[in-house]
Amino acid sequence: MSEIQWLTVMDSTDGPVEHAKIFCVNRHWFFLPVSSLGEHSLRLDEVTPAECQQTVRQVMKPPLITIEAGAHLAAATFLMRHSHDSSLVVVADNTREPVAVITEADIATAVARGRSVEDARVHEVVTAKLMTIRADVVVSDAIRLMLPEGAWHLPVVDGRLLVGMVKLADLVHAYLVPGPVVVAEP
């Protein structure tokens, strides 16, 4: 069971700070500006999994951009930069099914190890095993799946078909601020 701990930031000796809530979910810390909560107020006794019945489908964004496993890292870097995202779903060349997720961290690690983005292929540097999630999973369960694995992004599938991508930050926001979630498009 996830335990949420809160720390409220009201001001700072270094100057004014936007009112915010800092919270910890299973030893992972998040910063949530109060201005992003709108009319909602957060109290620990109000944030319970029973009240947060939103599903991943309500939080995910469509998979606008994917990349094939055989593509060069330069292509992945270009696509990430122009889509303003830090990851891409890697799909099989022939079936278009998700096979991995490549992140900026994967590319940075490859470059730090001397790999050329023009020569290295996506499938050669992807390090994490593929985790996917169904669109009908409740947000709190999705968070519990992602945190222990250190996953920041998950492909959303319907059967084996890619239907979206969800970010941990969007799931945590939906968990803490029940109600309609609007995910900003890049």
List, for residues 100-142, the tens digit of each pLDDT value.
999 999 999 999 999 999 999 999 998 767 899 999 999 989 9
Q: Where are the alpha helices (DSSP H) in 113-160?
A: 122-125, 139-149
State whether 89 and 15 are in the same domain.
no
Whether residue 38 has pLDDT greater than 60: no
The domain total for the chain is 2
Render pLDDT for 74-87 as a digit per residue (tens, 0 to 9): 999 999 999 888 88
State whether 93 and 152 are in the same domain.
yes
Q: Which of 85, 21, 84, 57 lies closest to 180, judged by CA?
A: 57
CATH of the domain at 135: 3.10.580.10
Residue 135, in any domain of the structure? yes
Least confident of 67-71, 88-92, 154-158, 182-186: 182-186
State whether 129 and 44 are in the same domain.
no
Is there a contact between 166 and 146 (Cβ–Cβ < 8 Å)?
Answer: no
Q: What is the pTM of this model?
A: 0.67
Residue 180, in any domain of the structure? no
Element (H, E) at 103: strand 98-103
- d(CA 37, CA 41) in angstroms, rounded, equals 7
What is the SS3 assignment for 73? helix
Show the tokens assigned to 139. Answer: 């947000």
In which domain, by residue range, is 15 found? 4-51
